[in-house]
């Protein structure tokens, strides 16, 4: 089931991106191993609980259609004994998905996102950036263009606890040396304040070291998918200190790495309960019911996510609400299946 769904997803993705791959001269090895291998890992794991659900529906419906479940229950075995192997498998798959989400996939996603940045996406662009960094530091720049990695009208202000400015530096352009905290400022103007005097300096070029780099100020929102659990926790803490407006999006990424694997339990119970009875429409009817439940679950996730991002709904509640609702549905269906 996983292979069929991922193959379809890959075919649609190739159809959409093939022209960009050709125009940017992406090599076959980069496309296969740098992109699509990690593409399959990411989307296969992200939607694993729903793919498992469809597989459970199909497998159990086939058993019911072949009249294999009725003899099991008529032999005196309770329904929860019939359910036990499903839950053991669901536990194993959930643990694998949890480890993948928090520790393995972030490394895989970094390779995939780097490929997209190089061969597919337009250059990243930011305008009118303004943020308060830890240590009473205010950072501003007018624009950033990812094509040349140049920041324009770069300004840093350092304030003391009394809300008095201590240091001011402005540069016409600034460049961050990749993977370091080293910066090169061009056409800079610098001013330092003391209690009794001030010092001014200016020049064509200056090399400085800050305690932040370009990725702290200009990175796409999906960069969080390339951070492991501990890295993401630190990233959210740093962004909160900066007053970032994207905190709900980042927190949703963190919490959904746990809630999505946990839904494997709920969807497995629903799948077994729905498909364990023979229906007139056969396996097709069970699969149709299963797909309908999956679509409703995805819709519920989207609604709560939008509520968290746009109207301030608590992100941890937004992440768990779909599971809580469907947990109730699973209980009702389970009780009905026992009867």
Mean pLDDT by 10 residues, the chain (339 residues): 88 90 89 92 88 89 85 84 92 94 92 87 81 86 86 92 87 90 93 85 92 82 88 89 85 93 92 82 75 86 90 91 92 84
> Which is it for strands 125-133 and 182-193: parallel, antiparallel or unpaired?
unpaired
What pLDDT is recorded for position 173? Answer: 94
Question: What pLDDT does 269 receive?
Answer: 92
Q: What angle do CA 119, 120, 124 make, to 5 degrees?
A: 100
Contacts of 164 (CB under 8 A, 6+ apart): 193
Question: First and final CA of the chain: distance in angstroms?
Answer: 30
Any idea which residue has 């709900």 for tokens?
A: 248
pLDDT the model gives residue 281: 65
| pLDDT for the residue numbered 261 | 92
Beta pairing partners, 158: 137, 167
**Which pLDDT score, from 0 to 100, does residue 320 have?**
94
User: What whole-number distance in Å separates Cα of residue 293 and Cα of residue 152?
Assistant: 50
pLDDT digit string, tens, across residues 223-242: 889 999 999 999 898 888 87
The pLDDT value recorded for residue 152 is 93
Contacts of 181-188 spanning 24+ positions with Cβ under 8 A:
181/209, 181/210, 181/211, 181/212, 181/213, 182/207, 182/208, 182/209, 183/207, 183/208, 183/209, 183/210, 185/154
CA torsion through residues 217, 219, 221, 222, sign = negative
């Amino acid at each position: 089931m996983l292979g069929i769904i991922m193959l379809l997803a890959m075919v649609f993705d190739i159809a959409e991106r093939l022209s960009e791959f050709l125009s940017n001269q992406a090599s076959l090895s980069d496309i296969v191993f740098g992109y699509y291998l990690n593409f399959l890992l990411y989307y296969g794991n992200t939607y694993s609980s729903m793919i498992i659900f469809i597989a459970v529906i199909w497998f159990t419906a086939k058993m019911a259609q072949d009249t294999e479940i009725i003899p099991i229950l008529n032999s005196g075995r309770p329904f929860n004994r019939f359910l036990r192997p499903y839950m053991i498998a669901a536990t194993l798959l959930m643990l694998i998905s949890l480890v993948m989400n928090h520790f393995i996939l972030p490394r895989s996603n970094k390779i995939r996102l780097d490929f997209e940045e190089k061969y597919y996406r337009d250059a990243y662009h930011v305008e009118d950036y303004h943020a308060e960094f830890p240590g009473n530091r205010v950072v501003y720049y007018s624009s950033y263009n990812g094509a040349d990695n140049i920041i324009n009208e770069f300004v840093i202000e350092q304030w003391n606890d009394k809300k008095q400015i201590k240091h001011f530096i402005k540069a016409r352009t600034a460049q961050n040396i990749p993977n370091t905290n080293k910066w090169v400022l061009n056409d800079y103007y610098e001013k330092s304040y003391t209690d009794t005097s001030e010092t001014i300096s200016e020049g064509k070029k200056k090399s400085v070291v800050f305690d932040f780099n370009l990725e702290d100020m200009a990175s796409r929102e999906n960069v969080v998918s390339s951070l492991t659990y501990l890295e993401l926790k630190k990233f959210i803490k740093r962004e909160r200190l900066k007053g970032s407006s994207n905190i709900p999006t980042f927190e949703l990424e963190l919490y959904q790495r746990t809630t999505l694997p946990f839904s494997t339990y709920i969807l497995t119970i629903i799948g077994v309960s729905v498909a364990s009875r023979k229906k007139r429409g056969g396996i097709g009817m069970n699969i149709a019911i299963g797909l309908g439940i999956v679509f409703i679950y995805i819709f519920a996730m989207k609604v709560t996510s939008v509520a968290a991002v746009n109207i301030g709904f608590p992100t941890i509640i937004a992440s768990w609400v779909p599971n809580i609702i469907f947990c109730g549905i699973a209980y009702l269906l389970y009780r009905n299946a026992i009867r």
